[in-house]
Amino acid sequence: MGNRLAGKVAVVTGGNQGIGRAIAERLAEEDCVVAVGDLLQGRADATNAGKLSFLVLDVTDEASIRAFVDQVLERFGRIDILVNNAGMVIHKSIDDQTAEDWDRLMAVNLRGPFLMAKYVVPEMRRAGSGAIVNIGSVEGYMVNPWHTAYAATKAGVHGLTLGLSVDLGPDGIRCNTVCPGWIDTDLNRAYVEMHPDRKLIERELSYLHPAGRIGAPKEIANAVLWLVSEESSFVSGEMISVDGARTKKIPLPAILDEEYRSKLTETSV
């Protein structure tokens, strides 16, 4: 427990579970009051009781966003931090994707962060300071198969970050993006468990990351904490990958990569 964010009020979208929940809890640990906006209602544990509030929010609905922001201001009087975490993914080829699939992804992953910023920024501007962190993805610049629409939304989030950092800098508001690698969330774990050889999939996922393992939600939360704290006061407009160097390693054919994999296995044991 610390006090790096004492007196601050943060909004975290999609913060009821997974990476969003880890972010909300990490900010609360630093004495920040956190309003979690989610379609699903959660509850704070004993450690963060009094620091986490759970409110209904649909980031695809402008009226819901406006009502959510009004409610946060009515309760807490200010908003210093915005973390746009809410997101979704659809696994479909371009042939199978529908216009409705595309529009849904755009509404959640890109339009939502835009509208959240639109309604939160005036409060930050009045205070003369603020920090926005968007949760992007390594798929904003490298893409898994069947993720065309998802990758397009995350590349859009990266562009939104650049634009906001430039436009809002004179108002004392910073904007950055955290781009996670493969993180051990309930959603990703369920995807792994669909495969008959779970251990093989986990091992292969670890090999993708030169760090020799996949990441934990708290590691994303720690990056977000740094970006919203005064410790990063001159950092804005950045896309920061938290991916164990996954995006930095050039792929090799498996036969050539074997020695490297063996070294990773030895290091990880």
CATH number at residue 233: 3.40.50.720
* pLDDT the model gives residue 203: 85
In a domain, 134, yes or no: yes
Q: How confident is the model at residue 44 (pLDDT cuts 50, 70, 90)?
A: low
Domain assignment present for residue 174? The answer is yes
* Three-state secondary structure call for residue 130: strand
| Residue 199 resides in a domain | no
Q: What number is the average pLDDT over the span 201-230?
A: 93
pLDDT at residue 196, as a whole number: 82
Q: Is residue 258 part of a domain?
A: no
- Number of domain units in the chain: 1
Model pLDDT for residues 48-81, shown as the tens digit of each residue? 667 999 999 999 999 999 999 999 999 999 999 9
Flag whether 154 is in a domain: yes
Q: pLDDT grade, residue 205 (50/70/90)?
A: confident
- Cβ neighbours of 242 (radius 10 Å): 18
Does 55 fall in a domain? yes
With respect to residue 167, please indicate whether it lies within any of the assigned structural domains: yes
Query: Which has the minimum average pLDDT: 82-86, 184-188, 237-241?
Result: 184-188
Tell me which of 259 and 172 has the higher pLDDT: 172
- Judge whether 150 counts as a catalytic residue: yes
65 occurs within a structural domain? yes
- Catalytic residue (choose from 119, 141, 150, 207): 150
Q: Using CA atoms, how far apart are residues 151 and 86, in angstroms rounded to an integer?
A: 15
Residue 232: domain span: 9-184+214-249
- Calculate the average pLDDT of the chain: 91
**pLDDT tens-digit series, residues 138-150:** 999 998 889 999 9
